[in-house]
Amino acid sequence: MSFDSLGLSAELLRAVSDQGYDEPTPVQKQAIPVILEGRDILAGAQTGTGKTAGFTLPLLQRLTESSAAPGGAGRKPVRALVLTPTRELAAQVGESVETYGKYLSLNSTVIFGGVNINPQMNRLRRGVDIVVATPGRLLDHVGQGSLDLSSVEILVLDEADRMLDMGFIHDIRKVLKLLPNRRQNLLFSATFSAEIKTLADKLLDSPTLIEVAHRNTASELVAQVVHPVDRVRKRELLSSLINNEGWQQILIFTRTKHGANRLAQQLVQDGISAAAIHGNKSQAARTRALAEFKQNKVRALVATDIAARGLDIDQLPHVVNFELPNVPEDYVHRIGRTGRAGNEGEAISLVCVDESSFLRDIERLIRKEIPKVVVEGFEPDPSIKPEPVFKPRGGAGHRNQGPGGRAGGNRNQGPGGRDGRGGPNRNSSGARGAGRPGQRSSRGR
Ligand code: AMP
């Protein structure tokens, strides 16, 4: 099937062809015709499935097919709003809107926190058709009178599950109240939790359900392994694996910003070029770290879940969980960075005695037992007792996120408050701790 049969205009097909795409991806095949009909959709699609073009292309077309209702105060009205959980994702979606809309005369802008609000205000005052935004800063603009959402015809919630995880539900509700009742709604989510279903029921009008197979699932393309190790020896094991196995381009996850910073510094001390990327870093620092990583100038990128979400980095050979996430779905998102598009990938988790319940929840979620391999010389000391790992403050309701954080607010990473604690031959010790098939985590989110 080619793009030509989807009903897209010549200008959009030209932009698609400029990108070198031959064929629509499964989510594009399903979503584009339905969106062009003006229907609401509920789409289960992860990053990497081509979902952004899946909603951007038909959105652009629908805006060109009709003209805007007259806006107030002579300003051109905002006709489409795309909400994203993070700055990075907002920037990427904004780029896609520009890329696919390059032969059209629609204007767009990207709005997120952590940067000066004034240039965004000036841009909005000049009038834009499409706004791509994180929720907090979007509401700041509404509060300051620089943005009017009363003419929005199409609303997209991208990575809605992550927005809820990050505590944006109250902001989303506020935004919904500012929109006209008659509009088209497109909801994209990698997972369908009870909260997402509640949101979808409230938001969507007879939606078409679109579900595409993930380009990779935890159990398929990615080789997963757990290395049991003592809490205090994780970093030593990590450096040893990186050097002895000759790994290049490693994405490493920690639970906290502090943990990410510390680990990056320690890796550098061990002679491994590394950078940390998280919500407390300026946008410029994050962009720079990512660019250096992509160019192989930095070998290890140490990230928190929220900072990594939405980053255009995938097909990595190695993803390392220096600490397991306390939210099992985050494990799936993390390891989805490797093994994309049929490439072999490896997800390595360094797990200490404190994290057994996290591991159990993950294995239940992925319905698979992850092989446990003790690395010679790093055998865990059985006399070490588990220590509690702090729970994140406030969980889903906590509104202290970096990406999309309000101007002037505390831009701490969302699940903050957790205390990051932070040539070997591999020697299989057999697997333990089987997950119960069919049982999902009961951790309420
Ligand atoms: P997304 O899931 O929207 O983050 O897209 C993942 C990647 O797939 C992006 O780098 C897109 O440029 C690329 N992409 C989107 N649609 C296609 C297509 N039809 N063919 C090839 N690549 C695509």
pLDDT in tens, 87-143: 888 999 999 999 999 999 999 999 999 899 999 999 999 999 999 999 999 999 999
Residue 96 Cα to ligand 1 middle (Å)? 10
Is 340 in contact with 320 (CB distance < 8 Å)? no
pLDDT in tens, 270-293: 999 999 988 777 778 888 888 899
CA angle 264, 269, 274 (to 5 degrees): 35
CA angle 422, 404, 267 (to 5 degrees): 25
CATH number of 222-401: 3.40.50.300
pLDDT in tens, 390-406: 654 433 333 333 333 33
Angle separating helix axes 26-36 and 51-65, nearest 10 degrees: 20
The residue assigned the tokens 């990128």 is 301
Query: Is 309 close to ligand 1, i.e. is its CB under 6 Å away?
Result: no
Residue 63 Cα to ligand 1 middle (Å)? 22
Domain spanning 3-211, CATH architecture: 3-Layer(aba) Sandwich (3.40)
The residue ranking higher by pLDDT, 257 or 340, is: 257
Type of residue at 411: R
Residue 217 Cα to ligand 1 middle (Å)? 17
Q: State the closest ligand 1 atom to the C-alpha of 51, by its place in the atom list counted from 1.
A: 3
Q: Where in the chain is the domain with CATH 3.40.50.300?
A: 3-211, 222-401
pLDDT in tens, 127-178: 999 999 999 999 999 999 999 999 999 999 999 988 998 889 999 999 999 9
